[in-house]
A and B are shown apart, each in its own frame.
Chain A
Amino acid sequence: AQSVAQPEDQVNVAEGNPLTVKCTYSVSGNPYLFWYVQYPNRGLQFLLKYITGDNLVKGSYGFEAEFNKSQTSFHLKKPSALVSDSALYFCAVRDMGETGANNLFFGTGTRLTVIP
């Protein structure tokens, strides 16, 4: 069975500073990993994904994430935070070791607040 952990419910960062939103996962096979952002009363917007290849994945709006197999982590990062980055961020995994498991399993979300 798969699981995703986002250990921080809330992350506060000053505008212009680097930000990190943490995510660790547990799967039986190879993981497909995703980051999504959600604004109030909206659906989820895709940011980036890791399937295979380079461990550092670049995505939308200047975000990137690093896949670390030994630490089973997929932390989301951005070098310089913007106030407009304030939102709810979800890490998700699809366990390619699970037969028929096409759905995503989500973490509990991390609310990012960028302080002007």
Chain B
Amino acid sequence: GAVVSQHPSWVICKSGTSVKIECRSLDFQATTMFWYRQFPKQSLMLMATSNEGSKATYEQGVEKDKFLINHASLTLSTLTVTSAHPEDSSFYICSASPEVGSNHGYTFGSGTRLTVV
């Protein structure tokens, strides 16, 4: 079945530094991947839609200069949290579908727990 790998699973960084999170589709090509953010005891909030070969589409209120998304290939999307601050600490999850626009379900990565100290 469709597998999405997300790395790292957790990261601790100092305030002001940047952190890169990778999302890979292991056994299928994904022209579109989705990045979500989840605060403790809350639902997943869509941050942005990552499009292979073009600019990402950001949801309202998400700073595109802070959360840089690169989708350089059909199997890899990266989210870089730039100049991280403690309020960026959260659980970040990516997802992809083998065929966007079809009735396939979405496969989620295992998530990345970011802690900014």
Contacts and interface: CB of A to CB of B under 8 A. Distances in A.
Interface of A: 32, 34, 36, 41-46, 49, 51-52, 90, 102-109
B106 A41 contact: no
A50 to B, nearest CB: 10
B93 A43 contact: yes
Contact of B43 (A34, A51, A107): A107
Contacts of A104: 34, 46, 95, 106
B105 A46 contact: yes
10 contacts: A32-B103, A34-B105, A42-B111, A43-B93, A43-B110, A51-B103, A90-B43, A105-B46, A107-B43, A109-B43
Interface residues of B, number: 27
Interface string B104-117: 01111111010000
B109 A46 contact: no
Among A44, A52, A102: residue with most chain B CB under 10 A? A44
Contacts of A49: 103, 105
A43 B40 CA distance: 13
Given A42-B110, A102-B32, 5 more contacts: A41-B9, A43-B108, A44-B108, A46-B108, A52-B103
A52 B102 CA distance: 12
B108 A103 contact: no
Contacts of B49: 102-103
Contact of A106 (B4, B44, B103, B107): B44
Interface string B11-41: 0000000000000000000001010000001
Interface in B25-80: 32, 34, 41-44, 46, 49
A104 B45 CA distance: 10
A103 B44 CA distance: 12
A106 B34 contact: no
Contacts of A42: 110-111
Contacts of B103: 32, 49, 51-52
A105 B36 CA distance: 11
A107 B38 CA distance: 12
A42 B32 CA distance: 22
